[in-house]
Amino acid sequence: MDEPAASVLDKLPDDRRSKFDHNLARVISQALEKYVLERFHSVDEMHDAVYACLIDRGEAVYSVFISYRVATEMPLARLLFDCLNHTVTPGGHRVTVYLDHARLVKGQDWEEGFASGLLHSLCFFPLLSYGATAPLADIPADRKDKVRIGGVD
């Protein structure tokens, strides 16, 4: 009979069980699955799962948060994620990128996950779509904009 991997929570004393991160317990269980196809498919996938647990607990941050318009900027957002995620800076810091498509967990409230990712990120990379910037092209070149400095026009 096939049984799922034991939960680390079942191995903890009662007084420590409620304090142990239940998401981390799920990560550990997945890593210990009997069948290889049910385990993490790569070290990076497992790293992301453990890192998400640290983010949820407020013990880690994302290096970069990528904000984009799904309808038009998804390919560029994905390319940035693929190029930056898990790279190492010249100072030796591992780069961990938040991209909603890669980080949101099925069943999780997307607004909560999105806000958490943004609040726990060091840098914000907004990808501006043509639709967002096109109205700026309609500003006449001869228009003189007033700049207020210290309340003076």
| 81-137 per-position pLDDT tens digit | 999 998 988 888 889 999 998 888 777 788 888 898 899 899 999 999 888 888 877
% of the chain exceeding 70 in pLDDT:
86
Where b means 16+ CB within 10 Å and e means fewer, 68-104 reads beeeebeeebeebbeebbeeeeeeeeebbbbbbeebb
2 or 51: which carries more pLDDT confidence? 51
40 or 56: which carries more pLDDT confidence? 40
